[in-house]
Structure 1
Amino acid sequence: MNSKTAILVDDEFTALKGLQQKVEQIFPEITIVGAFQKPKEALKVIKQKNPDILFLDIQMPGMTGFELLSELDDLHFQVIFVTAYNEYALKAFKHSAVDYILKPVDNDELIHAVSKALEVINLKQQSESNAKLVHILSETFTDTNKIIVPTGKGLSFIPQQEVFHIEGYEGYTKFHLTNKSEILSSYNLGKFERSLSKIFFKCHKSHIINVEKVRSFENEGYLVLENDYRVPISKANRKVFLDLFN
């Protein structure tokens, strides 16, 4: 497992050291790069170190945990609030906390909170890694005229000529292929639209068709493809589509 970093902020010395010991003992894969009693001092190091996890007390003299977070432009880390006051719970989650632990810190609650944070971090890193890979592969495959489609199983490399129609719905994208199969991706339609060649035409906000596969245009507002599939075309795009053939 890749090492992760954390910063702890709590104005109570005993609570701070106790939490640090628990984290180090239970999660050896987490390196604590700072433990602070003064929020303003912590703020400077948080900006410099950009930790993976921030353990943050809420009620502190001079600056509350919420005020500390408001001083940061972007929260790239996971926040776990650690406090003695449970009335802050709702407000804590409104500040995008991954979890909330009451003092004195219970080991099981700590394990649950940190495990949740690590899961979010790993998923985010995997997503970013996949996005970079798709970008690199897209540049590599430009000349071969293939579409790179991230799926639940990995990556599919689809020749554009084998695509009838690309459909977007609820944030997902479905590829309808000439072999009558379908491929579903969790990427939205816009992610693919920019990488398609000129043989594709966006006929509707949720539909992109392969112009070479169109067999007829219906006045009521549909395009019929070679596979007899009827795809809606918006009024705004009808004239643009017909002008392609003039």
Structure 2
Amino acid sequence: MSGVNSVKRNIKLVIMYDGTKYSGWQRLKNSEMTIQGKIETVLSKMTGEDIQLIGSGRTDAGVHAFNQIANFHTTTLKKVKDIKAYLNQYLPKDIVIKDVKEASERFHSRYNVKEKTYLYRIWTTDYPPVFEEPYTIHMHQSLDIEKMNKAANLLMGEHDFQGFSNKKTKKSTIRTIKSLDIIKEKDELKFYITADGFLYNMVRIIVGTLLEVGEGKIKEDAILNMLESKERENAGTRAPAKGLTLQSVKYN
């Protein structure tokens, strides 16, 4: 099936990407190396239309995604399986379309999000990883995971997370963290963070802060002052981008 239809379809994509070489998700005027830009270019060529891709949210330069969600509108009559095949044929090999589906007319991949889960990975042996190097940070010094969990518990629930963001905004900075699990699995320490939404750099600042708690540089109850002050300078350092992966995005 080819050609165009007078009625626009709403197409939903599930995307996996290695963000190492890219300047983040969002299309930029001064860079061709963005995830959104690469996919839009291929879709526009495929459909003959000026495709505007809507993502569930932005990921920073160097951040990865296992299940990023996006949607676009088109009049093409191509079957979803053919759209998927075309995209995976012409996209760079570090961007993969895992699934393509018809979505309802009202589906919006950003506005309809109910929660997101991010994973942050740390390699903990006394030697750096080889095969996992692009997706983890290497940190072999001793960490007090018990203290890190105590500090993490103070971040749970609804708070104003302005102090855990690198960008000032007039919009609400209140978010609800639904779960924050720190799990040791063999040679890795993994942070799983689920919330109804995240501010700019929020996950990386939370991880960086908790790591400083684990190192003994910050006391675990200092988290309360960070939340109350709403000042970025009171929180810990921002963890490097490459350890972060968007794991999942959930809708109703």
Q: Same fold per TM (> 0.5)? A: no
Larger radius of gyration: 1
Greater fraction helix: 1
TM-score by length of 1: 0.23
